[in-house]
Amino acid sequence: MSSVIEVENLGKKYIITHQGEASYTALRDVITDGAKKIIKRRGLIPKKEDFWALRGVSFVVNKGDKLGIIGRNGAGKTTILKILSRVTIPSEGIVKIKGRISSLLEVGTGFHPELTGRENIFFNGAILGMTRVEIKRKFDEIVEFAEIEKFLDTPVKRYSSGMYVRLAFAVAAHLDSEILLIDEVLAVGDTQFQKKCLGKMDDVSNKEGRTILFVSHNMATIKNLCETGFLISKGHLQFEGSIDEVISKYEYDNPLAASKWENPANIGDAEYFDISAITLLDKKKIPKKEFFNSETIYVKMDLLVNKIHSQMKIQFDLIRYGEIVFSYPIFLAQNSDISEGKHSVYCEIPAFLLNEGNYFITADVSLHCIQGYSRYDHVLNIDIKRDEIDSLPHLENVPGYIFPLLKWYIED
């Protein structure tokens, strides 16, 4: 398969300026002709530091690839897309691109706020490299996809951020380019439009053979769209492989490799109750974070109850790829033994329920249908390995979040 993007030893350096520690300088002094002399005389020479947003990054993207780029905020994901789309130039390294690129990196990029939606379609299309004839041919499709017919002749300065994204994506997606670069901007749109955009990207890749590079923090979305990916960490390419492998690597490395989470807040100030700690235990009540799917998992939640209320509730969620695998409410006041003071609640996840992979625990503290108090997202990571048993030999890449041991039989 032929490559359309080749990146070798890519690096991008920025200069960061730090203010000195000398005395205060007024704004009127800074903007005068002698500002530089004043700064030097007072010892306010700014300190400069080299910051490498990217360093030593090399990869190859083949024609028709749907590649996901994953990493924490500030890892360098957007910098890569900006270099590939020629918004910024690299400080070092070589970038080879075969084919025309369309990109959607920031909300409103390429739009003029005083122009109408109609005028901005031509304006933005021209920036992306479309000819006027090409834009006219695609105009009706763009407007229909963006769903902004009613506001087509309204200046875009009056558009919401979601309408900006609708129009910008519609123009970028309908450009006859070989490569489509999409940053996290789709998160601004509503859920229905996000699904529509993902369907369009899937179509342009599968039916038109176009290459897609997609940056997102939504693991479920990136998993559904992309086939391969790589993980960026602190400006370096840390890992590349199938999208499932990359997501697993990212999710496993990010949470603390611990079996216990302790609440850093002062829960003694809670009006009614709060969670002080959450611990993962095996059947012997030994803390650990890695389990076989043949093991029963106990989630222990330590509580401090300051005052009793009949609607005290903990919502326990198990999450994977940003989606809820299951959610279970625990109504504490249904237990007649609950009282003010410290308690431990155990939630049992039965054996042979979960498929192998990484799962996250989220807990929500509230008074049911009255008031929410605290939500603790992704506080612990559970790593599930599939056990090989006689009736179920080891299988690889079985889809789904659950993998129960079901009873089956044959009848003649």
pLDDT 10s digits, 68-121 = 999 887 889 989 999 998 888 999 999 999 988 877 776 666 678 888 988 988
Query: Where does 260-385 sit in CATH, by number?
Result: 2.70.50.60
Provide, rounded to the nearest whole percent, the portion of the chain with pLDDT above 90. Answer: 27
Q: What confidence tier does 277 reach under pLDDT thresholds 50, 70, 90?
A: very high
Superfamily of domain 61-253: P-loop containing nucleotide triphosphate hydrolases (3.40.50.300)
Q: In the chain, which residues fall in CATH 3.40.50.300?
A: 61-253
Instruction: Please tell me the predicted confidence (pLDDT) of residue 144.
Output: 87
What's the pLDDT at 54? 92
Question: For all residues of the chain together, what is the average pLDDT?
Answer: 82
Q: Which two tokens stand for residue 358?
A: 């990484």
Residue 22, pLDDT > 50, answer: no
pLDDT (0 to 100) of residue 343: 92
With cut-offs at 50, 70 and 90, classify the pLDDT of residue 280: very high
Q: Residue 19 above 70 pLDDT?
A: no
pLDDT of res. 272: 93
**pLDDT of 265 above 80:** yes
Q: Starting at the edge strand that comes first in sequence, how are the strands of the sheet with 228-233 ordered?
A: 101-104, 179-182, 211-215, 66-70, 228-233, 236-242
Sign, CA dihedral 377-380-385-389, equals negative
What does the alpha-carbon distance between residue 288 and residue 290 come to, in Å, rounded to a whole number?
6
Residues of the chain with CATH 2.70.50.60: 260-385
What's the CA angle centered on 49, arms 45 and 52, to 5 degrees? 160
pLDDT tens across 330-375, in order? 999 876 678 899 999 999 999 999 998 889 999 999 999 898 898 8
190 Cβ neighbours under 8 A, 6+ residues apart: 162
Q: Is the pLDDT of residue 256 over 70?
A: no
The packing angle between helices 161-173 and 117-127, to 10°, is: 50
pLDDT digits (tens, 9 = 90+) for 304-315: 999 999 899 999
User: What pLDDT, on a 0 to 100 scale, did the predictor assign at position 28?
Assistant: 55
Residue 127 tokens, joined: 């920036």
3-state helix, strand, coil in the chain (%, to 5): 25, 35, 35
List Cα–Cα distances, 140 to 137, 170, 347, in angstroms.
8, 11, 55
Residue type at position 376: Y
Please compute the mean of the pLDDT values over residues 14-34 and round it to a whole number: 59
Measure the CA–CA gap between 237 and 57, rounded to whole angstroms: 6
Query: Residue 183: pLDDT above 70?
Result: yes
Maximum mean pLDDT: which of 190-199, 201-210, 285-294: 285-294
* pLDDT tens per residue across span 124-178: 778 777 788 888 888 888 888 888 888 889 998 888 877 887 888 888 777 777 8
What's the confidence (pLDDT) of residue 5? 92
Lowest mean pLDDT across 202-206, 260-264, 265-269: 202-206
Average pLDDT over residues 231-246: 90
